[in-house]
Structure 1
Amino acid sequence: MAGEESALAVLLGALEGLTLEDFQEFKTKLSHVDVEGGWNIPGDALAEATRPSALAGCMGDSYGEDAAVDVAVRLFEEMNRRELAEKLLDEKVKAYKWKYKEHVAKELLRYQEGNSCLGENTSTGGPYTELSMARKPWSQRGGEPGDATWGCADTVTVRTLFKPDEGGRTPRVVVLVGAAGMGKTVTLRKVTAGWAEGTLCRQFDYVFCVDCRELSSSKEASVVELVSKCCPHRRTPPGWIWDKPEKILFILDGFEAMGLPLAQPKAELSSNPREAKPLGTTLLSLLKGTILPESTVLIATRPTALQSLGQCLGGERYVEILGFSPAAREEYFHRYFGSDNKAEVAFGFTRGNEVLYSLCVIPVMSWSVCTALEQELYKSRHLLECSRTATRMSTLCLSWLMKHGGRDAQRDLQQFLLQLCSLAADGIWKHKVLFEEKDIEDRGLNQPQLLSLFLNEQIWKEGPDHGKVYSFSHLHLQEFFAAMFYVLEDTDDTVGGPGTLAKDVNVLLESYGTSREDLNVTVRFLFGLANPKVTEHADEEIGCRILVQPREDLLRWLQMRRRDLSHPSEAVLIKELDTFHFLFEMNEKSFVQSALGCFMGVALQDARLTLYDQAALCFCIKQWAGLRSVTLRSCSFQQQQRCRKEPPTGFPGQSPRQEELHSPLHLLCLALGHPGSSLRSLRLQWCGLTEGDTNALGTLLATHPSLAHLELGDGALGDGGVRLLCAGLRQPDCRLQVLR
């Protein structure tokens, strides 16, 4: 290696600078050296090494390059040639720093290959999406990452974590706070990778990363022992690094896993980095600065450890990871897919699903969505039939959290989730997003390892009467767990007390249908959880059993919806877009067919149909054998993009370029023209139709003999559009009777 060769070159230079007398003295002392684990230089070989180059080669061959330099330093000190000893030691330290950084880079690469679930490359030049971070808790500010309500002065990046404050004070301890799946570990790896590459934290000579989750079973350790676990061959750095603690950064990941009693008497703390103490005492000594007080510490922890940390630290800086801003979400999709075209298709679909897009503020949810949509795009060129609903993404995220939640995450999970879901549902009914400690204790949720996976902890009072409140990491996650409350099977240990919320799906549905529109997302998740594949995944991957009965309640509610209308003819029309959202979330063809069997048409008005809306509507239309009429008034369509060019598939005269454009009506016309469709009437009134839309309509006319009535209303079709419609009308399978 370059660093090692440089150290030996300095050794050779030092030997060449000795007088003949000093050279002989060095050889004499060398003959009495006994290196443990190495070969001593034989006497005849030492006698034959009459030149410095030969002697340096003998030492390297016999002791190894590192040990040879150590031996030379000691002998130079004994000879009172300290200037040579210091020069050689300095060179060895430089070589070790280079080798240590290389070791850190290799460890990061190994970690990334085994833990690539977030789709991020932590190297500085790699695909890393910047997370939104701020010094003040999100709860004090409101809004989403990137919103205008955020104060720019509070924004923190990986480059400004240790930036001096307004008073010029550099924080000694920086606490990185974030819920499970928010990207704390990825951020720490980014800091470490930047240091190893020389682009971040250049004020530090050494960065030592300690994973507290791997240490939680250890009994005693010294700081030196903790450092040695980070080093190649578990050898601590050479030289006097402890004399320059200001050049050391300690990174502690997963601090909450330690479960430390942080209120220890100062007399029990250590001041010697080589002294072995109980692990908790050693870490507290490092945090409180009784060991290496000039060193810097970066801690990553879930919110549950904040209160105890605040009691033992002083002068620390708290930085909260808030997740992906709207701009960062789009950037993440582009980095994940690589192909701009695929990224735009996937992000456009996700952006159209308000629930899914909102959940993507959580990095692990963005990864879940990208992973699932990547599989869909591998099978198809578009997301028209995408079955990756918000419920499936949420269950995928939940299983990820459980797998990465520590050793206790699977213990008593069923009972814990039942109580967590009860808490979520109670909060949804009462418009409550903050829960007090009593709410947690009454439900037996005070299990730190599990609780910290799902809830954020905040201190809401200071002083002796301090208290804590808890919230779900996102409102939609609370709504997801609220929906789970109605479908999870109770265990034998489940006990209902006074005031316990009843598991009555019909009450929830009736309330939504009459007065509680805010229950929309909860109801949508309820439909998604009734999907058989979701039920199977929950049982196998999470260990939760989901009841079958709610499926029947959901089907009956959809079939009876709007049955009390005074005009029977309107009772057979679906006028609410949410019906298609619910059925798409369920995503089971037989269920959709049963639910739509008693309806004959759809009539939507003033709807801006996103790609998600179109996917939901088209999915239902393709299962709807009894669909006779479709009426859209003052509706607009988000345009679909494809990942690859398709050959033309329409009626004669259709050009490849026109197919390539894909009008906004393309998806709807594909669904309406599916085999077995009995559509008779299509009304598109004041929908802003253009010449480009007539290509899809012409294809529908040419291939759909049952279509008898077409109203286009207030469109700007142009001469070209009229010609395309006429081309479709001339096809032999066209049976259109009315065109307006």
Structure 2
Amino acid sequence: MLHAVIIELDYQKKYREHILEEYQVIEDRNARLGEYVSLDKRYTKLLIVKEHWQREEKEHEIITRGRKHAELMAHQTSLTTVSVLFDPDRNRESPRTVVLLGAAGIGKTMTARKIMLDWAAGKLYQKKFDYVFYINCRKINLVTAQQSMADLLLNNFPDGVRPTKEIFEKPEKLLFIIDGFDELNSVLSMEEVSLWSDPFEKKPVKTVLCSLLRKEVLQKSFLLITSRPTALEKLKQNLKFPCYAEIRGFSGDDRKEYFHKFFGDEKKATQAFNFVKENEMLFTMCFVPIVCWIICTVMKQQMERKEDLAQTSKTTTSVYLLFLTSLLTDHFTDSVQQSKTTLWKLCSLAADGILERKILFEEGDLKKHNLSLSTIHTLFLNKSIFQKDTECESVYSFIHLSFQEFFAALFYVLEEDEKTMKKSLSSKKDVNIRFLFGLLNKERLNDMEKKLHCKTSSAIKLDLLKWALRNCLNQLELFHCLYESQEEEFAKSAMDNFQEIRLEHIRLSTMDEIALSFCVKNCCSKQSLYLCNCTLGIGEREEGWIAKLRKWLFPLEPHCWCTLGSLLHHRHCPKAGLIHKPRCQWLQFCSV
């Protein structure tokens, strides 16, 4: 018996050493440099909020916006850390399933990889879990052969080593990290899948994953599942008694720390951070790690070229476009035509992938779009080796899903045949609408023609707006689209379609406030604004709430400031028709 324990401990040690080696470095996705950096040295702490909500509480709003009911946000949320996600909470036992939600590029995968690294290094969950396994949903999409639970975990082990039977004898000491649930191709429906409980029995991979999620196999094991909020409805149908947490991105101090880690040079980091901090929109956008990384990458390149940092833009679309033009300029200094051709092929690949709900591409997909492997690998696509059936196969993906969405939107802006755009919009919301609005900005179009030498057309802009209004794009999402466009006259024509702006049960982020402010400024004088049970930030006090309203929502004519004062200090203002009900935080603003 003692001999078996010693062997198992030795097995654990070797497994930890392998995980440590596999996860200690990450590829710096600045393809121009092609560097590998230490995950520990680059990773920056993220804000994580643990949610306590009941299923009947406005789930449709959670799904469509990725935000929770305002009252829950104000009273039932608290900042938490990865280390306590599986601790008992209130009168509840330790949750065995934790869902870590977050928007695109917010740091879900990086957090998952950091958990793997910290556990292997002995810094996290030491007494709780003997083994932590990482399951990549993106790679699962390519698995066609039947597999067992043990087969599914092979990527976690060194070559030639397989999970042993002893590992599964203590399921309560196992943690499975299922990363990117929203990237699964198949819809996991309870009616379609027959569950099973033997971790060594081979079944279709869909059955294996469903059985793990629904605790049919390894019932006492622990799960940490990362996903975009858009997949929440599908996910919760497959879970038993989950606990939810949400990654909110970087705080202000965390952003500063990230800049210093990225640049590795005190003077340059301070210069770049101070410039970004002075631009409130740009600084706000840096709460999303992927955007923060892009901004740092672009600014680092601008510093190396001794260019003016003021070129860095203030919308997500313009930042992505600046990053694109910067890399293309570096790689195709001698061939404008090669740059245009490569861009078109990438955009075509991205658009096909979005329409087919495909995020992993095989070499045949690349050849179909005439992409050169040697060229594109150093630009915007990641390459990974994947075991498919009995052979190894190379697969490719865009460096982030948001990049694929950006390139797909760009495909329709560059497309000379406008019927292509209309055909796409007449189907479902396959294309990222915010990127489309942003790319149709006159300055962006000029930049593309000047720097990328591509022909573009803004003729589809009105068609895009009509489509957005006709397909019931919610108001807040439309405001973000209009903000991305950065064209006031266009925003005014769009806002004329509304007699009132009504937002209910929403926690408005700073970017929400910026987008709302932009649209309110472009309303006509007869429109109304209703905010019901909305909060700004986490646990915002009333005075802070009011200050933000003054700053963001009412940059209007001077007489409106008096109206705002009446609103905040009196229950009723007959002149302007304003009502303030403190208990439900209902605000009604009518321009006078």
TM range (shorter): 0.5 to 0.7
1:113 aligns with 2:27: yes
Counterpart residue identity of residue 255, structure 1: F
Kept in 2, the 8 Å contact 1:529–1:535? The answer is no
Structure 1 residues 131 and 169, CA gap change in structure 2 (3 angstroms)? same
Partner residue of 1:198 out of 122, 139, 156:
122
Amino acid at match of 2:106: M
For 1:102, the aligned partner's letter is: E
AA aligned to 1:364 is I
Q: CA 1:316/1:104 → structure 2, altered by over 3 Å: closer, same or farther?
A: same
Q: Secondary structure at the match of 2:159?
A: helix
Residue identity matched to 2:287: V
In structure 2, the partner of 1:213 is: 138
Q: CA deviation at 1:152?
A: 8.7
In structure 2, the partner of 1:546 is 456
Contact 1:123-1:194 within 8 A present in 2 as well: no
Distance of 1:194 and 1:487 partners within structure 2: 45
Distance 2:135 2:320 in 1: 31
What is the rounded CA distance, in whole Å, between the counterparts of 1:170 and 1:194 in structure 2?
21
Partner amino acid, structure 1, of 2:24: L
Where do 1:177-576 residues align within 5 Å?
177-202=101-126, 203-219=128-144, 220-238=146-164, 240-265=166-191, 268-380=194-306, 384=308, 386-390=310-314, 392-395=318-321, 409-411=350-352, 491-495=418-422, 526-532=441-447, 536-537=451-452, 546-547=456-457
Counterpart selection for 1:140 from 50, 54, 68: 68
Note the C-alpha offset of 1:407. Answer: 12
Partner Cα separation in structure 1 for residue 351 and residue 425 of structure 2? 29
Quickly say closer, same or farther: Cα 1:524–1:87, change in 2 above 3 A. Answer: closer
Q: For residues 150-201 of structure 1, give each alpha carbon's deviation from its aligned partner in whole angstroms, at most 9, with x where no partner exists.
A: 6695212222222222114111111122222111110101111110111112
In structure 1, distance between residues paired with 2:122 and 2:181: 26
Find the counterpart in structure 1 of residue 5 from structure 2. Answer: 90
Counterpart in the other structure of 1:699: none
1:398 Cα deviation after fit:
8.1
Amino acid at match of 1:306: L
Q: Deviations over 1:638-657 (max 9, x none)?
A: xxxxxxxxxxxxxxxxxxxx
**For the residues of structure 1 that align with 2:135 and 2:425, how far apart are their CA atoms?**
47
SS in 2 for 1:250: strand
SS of the residue corresponding to residue 268 of structure 2 reads helix
**Cα distance in structure 2, aligned partners of 1:486 and 1:406:** 10
Read off the aligned partner of 1:173 and give its amino acid letter. T
Larger relative strand fraction: 2
Deviations 1:456-511 (A, max 9, x none): xxxxxxxxxxxxxxxx9xxxx9xxx8x99999755333449999xxxxxxxxxxxx
Q: CA deviation at 1:233?
A: 2.0
Deviations 1:294-346 (A, max 9, x none): 11111112223210111221211122222222222122112212223222210
Q: Are 1:158 and 2:86 counterparts? A: no
Q: What does the per-residue CA deviation read over 1:327-376, in whole Å, with 9 as the maximum and x for residues that have no partner?
A: 22122112212223222210111122232222212111100111111122
* Greater alpha carbon shift after TM alignment, 96-105 vs 323-332: 323-332
Q: Are 2:94 and 1:170 aligned?
A: yes
Report the equivalent of 1:700: none
Task: Using the TM superposition, give the Cα deviation of residue 537 of structure 1 relative to its aligned residue in structure 2, in angstroms.
Answer: 4.6
Cα distance between partner residues in 2 of 1:267 and 1:158: 32
Question: How many Å separate the matches in 2 of 1:183 and 1:196?
Answer: 20
Instruction: Give the match for residue 8 of structure 1.
Output: none
Match of 1:101 in 2: 16
8 Å contact kept, 2:23–2:117: yes
Aligned length: 378
Q: When the two structures are superposed, what TM-score results if normalisation uses the length of structure 1?
A: 0.44
Give a deviation string over 1:529-579, Cα, whole Å, max 9, x none. Answer: 03445765596xxxxx523899xxxxxxxxxxxxxxxxxxxxxxxxxxxxx
Partners in 2 of 1:173 and 1:120 — Cα distance? 33
Unpaired runs of 5+ in structure 2? 52-61, 328-342, 358-396, 427-436, 461-485, 488-592
In structure 1, the partner of 2:531 is none
Percent sequence identity is: 31
CA distance in 2, matches of 1:240, 1:526: 60
5+ long unaligned stretches in structure 1: 1-85, 144-148, 417-448, 456-471, 500-521, 540-544, 551-580, 583-740
Give secondary structure in 2 for the equivalent of 1:94.
helix
Quick check: 1:132–1:323 contact (8 Å CA) kept in 2?
yes
Distance 1:330 1:349 in 2: 12
Could you report, residue by residue, the CA deviation over 1:681-719 in whole angstroms, capped at 9, with x for unpaired residues?
xxxxxxxxxxxxxxxxxxxxxxxxxxxxxxxxxxxxxxx
In structure 2, the CA distance between the partners of 1:385 and 1:173, relative to structure 1 (3 Å rule), is closer
- Change in CA separation of 1:361 and 1:498 when aligned onto 2, cut-off 3 Å: closer
Report the aligned-residue RMSD.
4.7
Q: Of the two, which has the highest radius of gyration?
A: 1
Whether the 8 Å CA contact 2:118–2:124 is kept in 1: the answer is yes
Rounded Cα–Cα distance in structure 1 between residues aligned with 2:80 and 2:324: 28
SS at match of 2:86: coil
CA-to-aligned-CA distance 1:430-461 (integer Å, 9 cap, x gap): xxxxxxxxxxxxxxxxxxx99x9569xxxxxx
Letter in 1 for 2:207: T
Partners of 1:189 and 1:271 lie apart in 2 by 28
Question: What is the CA deviation profile of residues 259-291 of structure 1, one whole-angstrom value per residue up to 9, with x for unaligned ones?
Answer: 333233498101110111111111010011110
Q: Note closer, same or farther for the CA distance 1:273–1:356 as it changes in structure 2 (3 Å cut).
A: same
Cα distance between partner residues in 2 of 1:102 and 1:286: 26
Q: Does the 8 Å CA contact 1:133/1:155 hold for their aligned counterparts? A: yes
Tell me: CA distance 1:201–1:493, structure 2 relative to 1, closer, same or farther (3 Å). same
Shift of 1:207: 0.9
